[in-house]
């Protein structure tokens, strides 16, 4: 007899992580990478790799971000997961990077989004006190608690 579907190992949608780590300690880097992996485990996503930008650049282009865009354009890639929107860089750079991610058709998933928001696809109910607000359109906040 075949095992039930819930008892079979299945692969979730493929995502890639992106970290912007300028002057960050090794323990902090490990913790951020672990938060991406845990988010993916909880949401049944396959984390296929993590791109790390270690330079404080004044431009949206960097080797890590260019590599991320390349893999996001691959077939069957769902999106990119970030610990928080700030990992895209300063506001002007982040806006351009977000636009480029959306242009390739990938989802932008945030481990730590705005408070009281729900993950995409987890119901339409609003939290007590009214509807949740998102900082930037198109993001799918993941966890209610700060990580």
What tens digit of pLDDT does each residue of 80-132 get? 999 999 999 999 899 999 999 999 999 999 998 744 344 444 433 333 344 43
Asked whether the beta carbons of 85 and 114 are under 8 A apart, the reply is no
Provide the token pair at 13. Answer: 């949608």
CATH pick for 10-118+134-143 out of 3.40.50.1390, 3.30.230.70, 3.50.50.60, 3.40.50.1000: 3.40.50.1390
Task: Kindly list the domain boundaries of the chain, sorted by start residue.
Answer: 10-118+134-143
| Res 116: pLDDT | 39
The fraction of the chain above a pLDDT of 70, given in percent, is 69
| Res 22: pLDDT | 87
Give the span between the Cα atoms of 2 and 24, in whole angstroms. Answer: 48
Which residues neighbour 55 within 8 Å (Cβ) at sequence distance 6 or greater? 22, 62
Torsion of CA 43, 92, 57, 45, to 10 degrees: 10
> pTM surpassing 0.85?
no
Reported as a pLDDT band with limits 50, 70 and 90, residue 56 is confident
Provide the token pair at 97. Answer: 């990077």
Reported as a pLDDT band with limits 50, 70 and 90, residue 3 is low
- Better-scored residue on pLDDT, 126 or 8: 8
Q: pLDDT averaged over the chain?
A: 78
Q: In the chain, which residue ranges form alpha helices assigned H by DSSP?
A: 26-42, 63-72, 91-103
């Amino acid at each position: 007899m075949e095992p039930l579907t819930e008892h079979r190992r299945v692969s979730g949608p493929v995502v890639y992580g992106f970290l912007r780590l300028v002057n960050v300690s090794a323990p902090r880097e490990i913790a951020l990478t672990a938060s991406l992996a845990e988010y993916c485990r909880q949401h049944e996503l396959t984390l296929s790799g993590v791109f790390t930008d270690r330079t404080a650049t004044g431009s949206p282009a960097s080797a890590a971000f260019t590599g991320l865009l390349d893999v996001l354009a691959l077939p069957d890639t769902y999106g990119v997961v970030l610990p928080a929107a700030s990992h895209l860089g300063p506001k002007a750079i982040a806006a351009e990077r977000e636009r480029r991610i959306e242009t390739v058709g990938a989802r932008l998933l945030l481990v730590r989004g705005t408070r009281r928001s729900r993950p995409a696809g987890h119901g339409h109910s609003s939290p007590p006190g009214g509807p949740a607000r998102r900082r930037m359109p198109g993001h799918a906040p993941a966890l209610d608690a700060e990580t």
